[in-house]
Amino acid sequence: MRFRNVYGALFIVIILIVVGGLYMHRDYYQMAVLVSADNESSPEWPNKRKWFDARKWLETSQYIKIDDFYVLNERYIPIDVLDDFGITRRLQDSIKESINIEPALSSLNDIDAIVFFDLMKDNLS
Domain ranges of the chain: 2-73, 85-120
Eight-state DSSP code of residue 12: H
Which residues share a beta bridge with 31?
A: 52
Read out DSSP for 45-77? -SEEEEEEE-HHHHTSTTEEE-SSS-EEETT--
pLDDT in tens, 12-70: 888 887 776 666 556 778 888 888 777 777 776 777 778 888 888 888 888 888 888 88
Integer-rounded Cα Rg, in Å, for the chain is: 23
Is the pTM of the predicted complex or chain greater than 0.75? no
pLDDT in tens, 70-80: 888 888 877 67
Asked if residues 88 and 116 have their Cβ atoms less than 8 Å apart, the reply is yes
Rounded CA gap, 29 and 119, in Å?
Answer: 33
